Amino acid sequence: MVAVITGANSGVGLAIAKRLLAYDKSIVLACRNADRASSAQKQLISEFPNATIHIVQLDTSSTKSVLNAAYEISKLGPVDLLFCNAGAMAIAGLNLKAIAYGLFTKPIEFFESSDALVQQRGLLSKDGLGLTFQTNVFGHYLLIHKLLFASGARVIWTGSAASRLAFSRSDFMHIHGPQPYESSKFVIDQIAIPLDTRLSRDNVRCFVAEPGNVCSSFLAGLNIPLLNVLVMVVFVLMRLLGLRRFTISSECASASCMFLALAPESELDPRLKYYSCASRLGLPFVSTAPLDYIPDTADFLIKKLDSLMSRK
């Protein structure tokens, strides 16, 4: 069995890799940074010395890189599991006003959003596409259509609860708007169901997982002393209060991805989003909710993505 994980050198991607290897699966670490991928491979081999772990260099913000990666992965045989996990958010700083307002007026919604962060606008990839859009969505979309899948394969996107925004069709890559990350996750929610319909013709299914609120390396670039410690303390307190969406650890956050990878197909529904959750004591479990799916918008986005793909 071949399982491909994008962005697998750290965080939720690395946690997925560890959990898959416990089931004796052959995995592919598809990562932008080859050195970090090599370090992750060494770490995994130290824990699973008999594992089969391949490295494929993949930068989802580059069409050329995606096509090269698809060619390399094809040499390993049909793919059984593809985790579309790689993602990026270009953070410019903290929004102190939004932090104060969110904490005192809507704390739960605040922590499920990126309102605390100021995101960079106007970023383009070398291909001339919105950088966050291509990294989080289009690069994976192109990869999916260039891979050979085994019958019964599954495509699992890492979505987000931070996918609520006033979506603009005129700026569907959200190049000029203030929420490119949220927009990219909104697009994932929209395209998942029609993409599942397309892939199911070849007995391949498509699902969306949501990792919850994780203490990740997203904030490292801000270089604010003790910020990660403060975030960890707040997250632990929130979980102790019974807010189950605070998964905190990457291992706990990977629960929904692993459920989608291993559960019998009869237990899965592509019309749902699968959420990683945790009890007060940190015990992981999975909950579901209907995807916030708008058929007209989904059709618009699929046509835009197909048009972009046809140029490559």
The catalytic site residues sit at: 181
Q: How many CB atoms lie within 10 A of CB 84?
A: 27
CB 141 within 8 A of CB 191: yes
| Whole-number Cα distances in Å, 52 to 5, 19, 85, 250 | 14, 14, 20, 22
Distance CA 252, CA 106 (A): 25
CA dihedral 259, 261, 267, 273 (to 10 degrees): 70
The three-class DSSP label of residue 2 is strand
The three-class DSSP label of residue 155 is strand
Alpha helices in 22-83 (DSSP H): 34-47, 63-74
Backbone angles phi and psi of 183, in degrees to 5: -60, -40
H-helix or E-strand containing 53? strand 53-57
Helices 295-310 and 180-199: angle between axes, nearest 10 degrees: 90
